[in-house]
Structure 1
Amino acid sequence: MLLWPASASVLRAQRARQAVAAGDMIAARIATSASLDYAHYTAGFSALFAVIIALAQFLMANDLAVSRTFLALPLIVSSFPLVLKAFWVNIYIFVVAEICVLVWGLIVAVARLIPGKTGAPVRAMATLYTDIFRGMPAIITIYLIGFGLPLSNLPILKDLSVETYAILALTLTFGAYVAEVYRAGIESIHWSQVAAARSLGLSHMQTMRYVIVPQAVRRIIPPLLNDFIGLQKDTALVNVIGSIDAFNQAKILSSNYFNLSPVTVVAFVFVLITIPQARFVDRIIENDQRRMRAG
């Protein structure tokens, strides 16, 4: 497979040398460009094959010990239904948390952009919140909320479900990130839009609601979707507070069989649901760039 592009690269390099000798610089440049293209093609596929061979050797190392540890097919087949059933807990947490993050992040972003001296205390609180929860690992937030609120014996809060604690913790964590995405989108709108809206008699909140935020949201859809992919993956962290999600179910099965193949199933399920979202983000970015180039 690699012999053909390699030989084509050599052939076109020879044509380039012949063209240079004949004084035809245009033909030489065309042949040189084609030779480089085939050379890059050969190098790229050579690297790909090298990675595949290295991975195969890794899986076959130590008398297939790695394959038996991570890819025991009978255990993968038997554990897949249980892991998939538990994965619905991750889906539930992700969907509810995503909705909460969208709303909460927008509230925090707008709070950070309140103008004037009177809005300084609100801006300070919003800034402090984003600084704290962006700096704190998600697993610590989940642990503190999942175990701290039940121990506090606060009315209502002490009786929530484990999944609700997880949703609350993920909302606080990712709300800080999404708030900054919202803020970047809002600040990317030209100041003349605000000036025009205020000159028409709209208040600051009306300007945000009817003029600025709708334009900003269109610009931040790709980074928002990237954050939500991260949120989806971090739902696996809820196992630290006892939620029987896909990862916790896989850990139980792995402990029973002394094999990590069920955890491989979890990895496969997460990758399977994440890759289409990543490609969807790429498609949105490409469409947006194409629209901008078209004017």
Structure 2
Amino acid sequence: MTDTGPRAARPFEPSEIELERRAYRRARGRRSVLISAVSTVVFAAVIWLVLVNSPGWARVRETFFDPQVAIASFPRVLEGLWLNVQVLVFATIGVAILSTLLAVARTLRGAVFTPLRLLAAGYTDLFRGIPVLLVLYLIGFGIPALGLTGRVPAQVWGTVALVLCYSAYVSEVLRAGMEAVHPSQRLAARSLGLSHAGTLRLIVMPQAVRKVTPALMNDFVSLMKDVGLISVLGAVDAVRAAQIEVATSFNFTPYVVAGLCFVILAWPFIRITDAVSARAQRREQVGGVV
């Protein structure tokens, strides 16, 4: 039997005031997009006119933006970029493992774990204070000079140096995320019979990573750029390949080609970072939009 009285469920219909508000917001949104597009075009046009009319533009265009040199150097730079991608993959895996261990060590409770906490704190302080370039020199040239190993490719030492440096940064980001998880989550998990390791793995770490995902993505993009520093150790990556092409052609266009390759490589991850940040912001502001 169907209830046809006034208490029957009816589909939601917005009021006239709400419809007017939505129409106003759409109009303002279209206006904002139009103003943004026009202002961007005007700004780009002004910058272009300033560059083109500058006294040295002809020389700069010939030295940095030669299409023929760019086409000739692109295959060699792209081949070197593949080495950067390989280093990035292995460095990311190493950073993820080492930084997690450091973050867990710094959050261990109890006096018995004091040496581990001090060791992890000293590690992060040391490698956050030393520039990445110096660590590359110390690892890439210092360890082979000891004669403890045979001939090891330069990109291997570069990967080790990047892992050591970025693990210090990422571990602090993870530690901040772990400490942002409310203590009641740990207590509830332990009361249900989970061990300390199980609590970290199933309760704390998933929430911590979700809280600091934008910061982790930014560190990944920064690591993606710094893999180009392995060229100082002699590895023929995109930067070193561009340098070789510059020495051959006496033209700086290969550097621009290498820079554009890194931008193209990083751009998807930058957009993903923005999307993740916007999604987290919308999730936190649910029901609070004025």
Identity of aligned residues (%): 38
Aligned residues of 1:59 and 1:65 also touching (Cα < 8 A) = no
Q: Which runs of 5+ in 1 are unaligned?
A: 1-29
Q: Which runs of 5+ in 2 are unaligned?
A: 1-23
Aligned match for 1:212, one of 200, 204, 208: 204
Aligned length: 258
> CA offsets per residue over residues 202-241 of structure 1, 9 Å max, x none?
3322221221112212222221111010001001101110
Q: Does 1:175 align with 2:167?
A: yes
**Amino acid corresponding to residue 175 of structure 1 in structure 2:** S
Quickly say closer, same or farther: Cα 1:47–1:277, change in 2 above 3 A.
closer
Aligned match for 1:191, one of 183, 205, 211: 183
Could you tell me which residue of structure 2 aligns to residue 58 of structure 1?
Answer: 51
Q: Does 1:223 align with 2:221?
A: no
Aligned mates of 1:63, 1:186 — CA distance in 2: 52
**Amino acid corresponding to residue 209 of structure 2 in structure 1:** V
SS of the aligned residue for 2:212 comes to helix
SS of the aligned residue for 1:148 comes to helix
Could you tell me which residue of structure 2 aligns to residue 6 of structure 1?
Answer: none
Could you tell me which residue of structure 2 aligns to residue 164 of structure 1?
Answer: 156
How far apart are 1:50 and its partner, in Å? 4.2
SS of the aligned residue for 1:244 comes to coil
Aligned mates of 1:66, 1:169 — CA distance in 2: 36
How far apart are 1:60 and its partner, in Å? 5.2
Q: Does 1:131 align with 2:113?
A: no
Aligned residues of 1:134 and 1:176 also touching (Cα < 8 A) = yes
Could you tell me which residue of structure 2 aligns to residue 290 of structure 1?
Answer: 282
Query: What does residue range 62-77 of structure 1 map to in structure 2 within 5 Å?
Result: 62=56, 64-77=58-71
**Which structure shows the bigger proportion of residues in helix conformation?**
1
Aligned residues of 1:59 and 1:67 also touching (Cα < 8 A) = no
Query: What does residue range 1-295 of structure 1 map to in structure 2 within 5 Å?
Result: 41=35, 45=38, 49-59=42-52, 61=54, 62=56, 64-154=58-148, 156=149, 158-294=150-286
> CA offsets per residue over residues 131-167 of structure 1, 9 Å max, x none?
111111111111110001110111x4x5322111011
198-207 vs 252-261, which moves further = 198-207
**Amino acid corresponding to residue 58 of structure 1 in structure 2:** L
Aligned mates of 2:41, 2:117 — CA distance in 1: 51
SS of the aligned residue for 1:185 comes to helix
> CA offsets per residue over residues 162-221 of structure 1, 9 Å max, x none?
111011000001001110111011111101011112223333222212211122122222
Could you tell me which residue of structure 2 aligns to residue 26 of structure 1?
Answer: none
Aligned residues of 1:60 and 1:67 also touching (Cα < 8 A) = no
Cα RMSD (Å): 2.2
**Amino acid corresponding to residue 121 of structure 1 in structure 2:** P
**Amino acid corresponding to residue 144 of structure 1 in structure 2:** L
Higher relative contact order (CA closer than 8 Å, sequence separation 6+)? 2
